[in-house]
Amino acid sequence: DTEVTQTPKHLVMGMTNKKSLKCEQHMGHRAMYWYKQKAKKPPELMFVYSYEKLSINESVPSRFSPECPNSSLLNLHLHALQPEDSALYLCASSQDLATGGYEQYFGPGTRLTVT
């Protein structure tokens, strides 16, 4: 199984809502990532988890809160978002992080619209 799954595929939320994005992989990977991608732009790294611990936070606003409940799951909790947060949110995983050189596998993404 070389698949990363993400739910939901689409999400529309108001600025006062609380919602969560979910990502799952069963490849035994120990590194998981959240990226944000705006239209016609490259993906931008948000968070990296390594062995279920937050390894990198790219100065992301606190209205985005990541969580890694176990080695297969990665969540992104959303609260009080702004319209400019509308984007495609991509999850990825890789075998490890420490030495690099491990290919990242991307999920299908969640298309988020904040109204």
User: Contact positions toward other proteins, by CB under 8 A?
Assistant: 33, 40-45, 48, 55-56, 88, 90, 97, 99-101, 103-109, 111
- Whether a cis peptide bond, with omega within 30° of 0, leads into 69 is no
Shortest Å distance, C-beta 98 to other proteins? 8
Shortest Å distance, C-beta 114 to other proteins? 18
Give the H or E element holding residue 82.
none
Please classify residue 39 by burial: count the beta carbons closer than 10 Å to its beta carbon, then call 0-12 exposed, 13-18 middle and 19+ buried: exposed
99, 43, 104, 96: CA torsion to nearest 10 = 40
In whole angstroms, give the CA distance from residue 61 to residue 57.
10
Shortest Å distance, C-beta 16 to other proteins? 27
- Residue closer to other proteins by CB (options 48, 114) is 48
- Residue closer to other proteins by CB (options 18, 26) is 26
Shortest Å distance, C-beta 45 to other proteins? 5
Per-residue HEC secondary structure of 59-71 comes to: CCCCCEEEEEEEC
- Residue closer to other proteins by CB (options 86, 106) is 106
- Residue closer to other proteins by CB (options 17, 86) is 86
